[in-house]
Amino acid sequence: MKKNIYYFLITTIGYLLLATTSFAQNGNVGIGIAAPLARLHVADSNVVFTAIGNIPAIPGNPPVSGTGRRMMWYPNKAAFRVGYVGTLNWNKDSIGNYSFASGNNSKASGFVSTAMGSSNAEGKFSTSMGQSDASADSSTAMGGSFAGGLYSTAIGSSNATANLSTAMGQSDATGIASTSMGSSIASGIYSTASGSSKSTGFGSTAFGESIASGIYSSAFGNTYSRSYGATALGVFNDSIATSNPVSFIATDPVLYVGNGTANNARKNAMVVLKNGNTGIGTNMPLVKLHIQDGVTGIAYMPLPGAVIERNNHTYLTFLTPNAFESGLLFGNSGDEAM
């Protein structure tokens, strides 16, 4: 009786398989279709590949190793590969748990990593596309770039080597949490650089073809901002070499406006110091408004007010010497007043 039941079940299952499976003369196998178009053709149905439980602590070898074209599900690491490999990138030791790789010689060796094109994703939770390399954890690289810092992002032909950094174009972001664009370099912590500029100071910003080396400094156009917290505008400004880049000094600039003509011919149209003194034609204004026409420095210390100076020491000075005097002084610093 038991033999009859067993025979009946086997016969029924075999009939059902034959009824739904077809074998073509060219070797193709069809499920649900009489004329299969591929080596395995499943028509009008889903296909599922499963593995029970978590991945093993010591995974076995993948179904295939070495070079070749293939689409491969590796259940021991819950990993997937599709495309071509001409190296060892799809062998066991180069496949990360829960990883995905596609394209030509791509490599996803990091935990939960993704690599597409001909790229490498080595860090945990990293993503790479094109011909890029994402080597740090949670990094992202696209194009032909390199993302080597934690949580870094690199796009184009750039390098984001510091943690939390972002690089785009053909730039380099080497400072922590820095951002670079174009062909710039952002090496200062929390700095930003764009164009062909350099931001080397902590929290500095540089745009155009400029340099911002002071802490919290900003440079725009073709300028150099050296002083702490200073902003430079215009072209070829004089950054004033004595400026302190790391400390607040009252007599250092807070604003430069450059009107130089070349790197070896730098000058400023206007300078504002941190003490509020403004100089037009001078880098060392001694009063709130100091206008100098020429290169010779003033010969005396003016009282607070406004000074207009020519290079032959001719002055027009507005001053209030004390609470009982006010007026307009022509000439030198004597008492002649009108």
Q: What would the pLDDT profile of 274-328 be if each residue is shown by its tens digit?
A: 999 999 999 999 999 998 875 444 444 555 556 666 555 555 555 554 554 555 5
Residue 219 banded pLDDT, cuts 50, 70, 90: very high
Report whether 294 contacts 312 (CB < 8 A).
Answer: yes
d(CA 235, CA 89): 51
| Each residue's pLDDT tens digit, 83-141 | 999 999 999 999 999 999 999 999 999 999 999 999 999 999 999 999 999 999 999 99
Q: How confident is the model at residue 163 (pLDDT cuts 50, 70, 90)?
A: very high
Residue ranges of the domains in the chain? Answer: 1-47, 61-157
Average pLDDT on 53-76 reads 95
pTM of the prediction?
Answer: 0.80
Q: What is the dihedral of CA 89, 93, 94, 99, to 10 degrees?
A: 130
Tell me what percent of the residues of the chain surpass a pLDDT of 90. 69
The Cα 172–Cα 192 span in angstroms is 11
- The string of pLDDT tens digits covering residues 194-206 is 999 999 999 999 9
